[in-house]
Structure 1
């Protein structure tokens, strides 16, 4: 077979594979969101009025936080594998460290704005419960993931 005929077929198959991976990730994220909504609703005991105002703000915050963590921070961390760190110059390491600090600060400022936006909607006790519920949810999700992942021997 001619390479000119094979190449477009390979590119098409590869693009389907990347699309499928993106769809699976999106589907998993939606499943996690649904579990989070159920968990927080139970934990926070939101009134109908609170819930109506809370969820749009929370969803915007969660989406932006996800974007920061999975685009910026994940990109920085991928550059920090052991081989790369051993060969990285001090100048490059300083630049990378600065980028990580900036991304961390961006997440911090986002959370600070989120809490400020919640104060007129939720009492302080429920905002604290939300923080605790987020930690509990993440811990529970991590335990479920660990329990489902087969152990390597």
Structure 2
């Protein structure tokens, strides 16, 4: 669904490739080297950084950009957190892990995996919104 929306929004944009797959499987199995890897409320939030960051770094050209966004962490809830997603009345909830860190912790994690020029900020939600804002991260593959 999100892939279809992206294709509708950016039809015929030269040089852009859109992919939908498990990030670890896709990046670990491709020989393509990317200028940028982006995760919008996706793989960077729901994949253990110790597994994801080496694969992303290996998939980027030197100086390539890794950018991602997700919700900011709830105060005091850092690291791997479990989310319980309700399903049908006769089914147990689905358990989905996500990785939540404060901005300074994300910066250290990325630098520890060879990324440089790391910037992490929390963008405020729109005025009058009840949402929490967005944690936005941008980093460069350190070569």
TM-score, structure 1 length as denominator?
0.24
**Structure 1 or 2: larger helix share?**
1
Larger Rg: 1
Greater relative CO (CA pairs within 8 A, separation 6+): 1
